[in-house]
Amino acid sequence: MADYPSIVIADGASAYWRLQEASGATAVDQVGGFNGAITSMGSYRVPGPFAGMYAMRFNGTSSRINVSTAAYQTFGTGPLTVECWARIATDTGAGQIFLDMRNSGGTAAPGPRLSLVAGLSRVQGVLRDAGAVDSNSLLDVPGIIGGGWNHIAGVLTRGPDRWTVYVNGVPGSVISVSAGVSVTSTSGTVLGATGGGAGQWLSGDLAEVAVYPVALTPTQIAAHYAAALASMTALAPVFNGRQYLLGTPMASVSTGTGPWVPVACGFSRLTVTTVGLGTIIGGTLQLEETDDPHDGSGATPAALGAPITLTGVSGNKKLCTHLGPGAYGFLRARLSADVVGGGSIYASLVGVP
């Protein structure tokens, strides 16, 4: 999985906390040496967003990582990007922070924040400028709580000055920002809690956190997401050169909803694959379609066929079902499975070009 870190570094990251540590009190920055201090981490080296990679598990009450203010966040009047991979385990009843640069000890400061909105399956990117003006970009992500991994990014472009949050390559609302106003952060960075380190605790897993003094393009954002998918599709053969994964491989007891995947046409089969020696002793998969990936006003999500029974799939085997004819706008999978004996499970679409 060297490809993903190489892409992050090549795209100009000024700080990059992969969160691959097996223990200890230090989160190592792979780029500039801006290491973070770990407090009360729930678990180390839990399964990460890609095959063979790891993450840290935040306990929802006290886990956090603090990084001091440094050159990596001296954005000035220039562009910026912040990104991470996150998995939300439970609804805590409050907002949940992935990354925060805009709050120090309860005092608001310039900088970006990526978080989950309290009580909603909605990702929020907040950018505060030196004039104390907040810009809020939002994107609804149905099933994000209790689901699989998601790639989350916030991007500030200049000329025009706009702030946008992305989830799995899909942009949220595009917000105009005051032209030429500084967004240099003076409060350091906290992962998994507010900048003050006293609330909005993350209950879930975090990995591959990066900061850039440049605005990643939509193409670059999509490439970061696709690089992770490429690492997962390597676990299975590709049918006629085309395959989409519906969420990430999941181990043990798994219940979750994958992201909406745009599908133009030509996909003929839905597959469920076990990796390793695991056996599914119980489980179902439901495929859904919609014309609106935001699942908001005007959306028409609907079940696509009957639920597929997964019981008995084991040992690097697949269960396939044929899709009905037609072109679908967006598809996603709802997976509930109990895997025993080791290994993991994932769903994918395969088809002809």
DSSP 180-192: T-----SS-EEES
Give, to the nearest 10 degrees, the angle between helix 3-10 and helix 218-233: 170
Mark the ranges of the chain whose per-residue pLDDT is less than 70.
Answer: 1-2, 51, 103-107, 147, 196-198, 228-283, 285, 289-301, 304-305, 308, 310-353
Whether residues 45 and 176 fall in one domain: yes
Please report, in angstroms and rounded to a whole number, the separation of the first and last CA atoms in the chain.
27
**pTM more than 0.75:** no
Whether residues 194 and 253 fall in one domain: no
Residue 162, in any domain of the structure: yes
pLDDT for residue 140: 86
Whether residues 183 and 260 fall in one domain: no
pLDDT for residue 275: 54
Residue 292, in any domain of the structure: yes
Partnered with residue 43 across adjacent β-strands are 57
Residue 32, in any domain of the structure: yes
134 CA to centre of own chain: 23
pLDDT, tens only, 235-259: 232 333 344 455 444 443 344 555 5
Domain count, the chain: 2
pLDDT for residue 225: 81
Residue 185, in any domain of the structure: yes
Cα distance between residue 309 and residue 323, in whole Å:
15
Residue 233, in any domain of the structure: no
Whether residues 271 and 213 fall in one domain: no
pLDDT, tens only, 255-273: 455 555 555 444 555 666 6
Cβ proximity of 86 and 149 under 8 Å: yes
Which helix (H) or strand (E) covers residue 3, if one does?
Answer: helix 3-10
Cβ proximity of 65 and 17 under 8 Å: yes
Residue 231, in any domain of the structure: no
Tokens of 148: 């699989």
Full domain range(s) for residue 44: 3-226
Please say which residue of 173, 195, 226 terminates a domain.
Answer: 226
pLDDT for residue 258: 56
Whether residues 248 and 207 fall in one domain: no
Count of beta carbons in the 10 Å neighbourhood of residue 5: 19
Query: How many residues are there in the chain?
Result: 353
Whether residues 107 and 208 fall in one domain: yes
The enclosing domain of 281 has a CATH number of 2.60.120.380
Which helix (H) or strand (E) covers residue 162, if one does?
Answer: strand 162-167
Whether residues 186 and 327 fall in one domain: no
Whether residues 175 and 148 fall in one domain: yes
Please say which residue of 226, 254, 288 terminates a domain.
Answer: 226
Whether residues 144 and 274 fall in one domain: no
SS3 category, 233: helix
Whether residues 200 and 251 fall in one domain: no
Tokens of 209: 């956190």
pLDDT, tens only, 85-136: 998 988 888 999 999 998 655 567 899 999 999 888 899 999 999 888 889 9
Whether residues 257 and 208 fall in one domain: no
Tokens of 293: 């990936």
Residue 290, in any domain of the structure: yes
CA dihedral over 226, 229, 233, 238, signed as positive or negative: negative
The 8-class DSSP code of residue 314 comes to B
Whether residues 103 and 180 fall in one domain: yes
